[in-house]
Amino acid sequence: MKNVNKLLGIGFLSLTMLACTTNPITGRKSLQIANDQEISAMALQQYRETLSKSKVISGTSAANSVKNVGARIKNAANNYYRSIGRADDMNNYQWEFNLIDDKQVNAWCMPGGKVAVYTGILPITKNDTGLAVVMGHEISHALAGHGNERISQAMAAQYGGAILGGVTSGQMATIFQQVYPIGAQVALLKYGRAQELEADEMGLYLMAMAGYDPRQAQPFWERMEASSAGNRPPEFLSTHPSPESRRSDIQKRLPKALEYYKAAGGKI
């Protein structure tokens, strides 16, 4: 039995090495061994269920802004991945951008590109550029495969070397529901600090590539922090880095973001 466990451990280590994914924008490596198509299918079902239980706003200027900003960031990502010869990476994304009437200060993006923005965050975004900060961040969670990473971590924790024998659809569905709660609870999505920092960095670059001034990221996060002064922080910030850490990180990434912004036609 000891030898079998040792072989399983070696096999799992080899699998993790083979399944190590490198983010082409940030360079961060992560374990992603789950099936992206299966994850996207489950995300779509969850997204549909969430929308069916929510008041989705359409046709207003705010709803149109959500769709337009999302489309610009999506197109910028498509162009970037195409420019580095990785256009196929975008094949599993079927983007949707919806505004939900809800006072929560929140926004999220599920695997496969299913995005929701809550009206509660709009007074803080203020305009399309502020909205681009939020949506760039959330879209980056999907593009970076953070859902796959979290599911892969859960698979490894629950099944260990047994992953080599394959995880059943039922087991995968259970893990998915643990990572992405059903219905309205999907608003409580939580990522690790490393993933949040990566989404900050990647989102900053993507908004710049889409022609939105990345210098407006700092003011947005300052407004977000101010909105929670003296109260419980918005769910959107529950697992995010400290304000000081975020400010420092954004300042460090800003020169590169401004290069993307200038290339997109922005004025420096």
Give just the sign of the alpha carbon dihedral 22, 159, 192, 185.
positive
pLDDT tens per residue across span 86-134? 999 999 899 999 999 999 999 999 999 999 999 999 999 999 999 999 9
Note whether 53 and 183 are within 8 A (CB).
Answer: yes
* Angle (deg, nearest 10), helices 217-226 and 243-263: 150
Can you give the pLDDT at residue 203? 98
Residue 151 has pLDDT above 90, yes or no: no
**3-state class of 49 per DSSP?**
helix
Beta strand 56-57 with 96-100 is antiparallel
Q: What is the pLDDT of residue 165?
A: 47
Q: What pLDDT score was predicted for residue 247?
A: 87
pTM: predicted TM-score of the whole model, two decimal places: 0.86
Question: What is the residue extent of each domain of the chain?
Answer: 21-263
Asked whether the CA dihedral 166, 188, 233, 136 is positive or negative, the reply is: positive
Which residues participate in catalysis according to the annotation? 138
User: Are 161 and 12 contacting, i.e. CB atoms less than 8 angstroms apart?
Assistant: yes
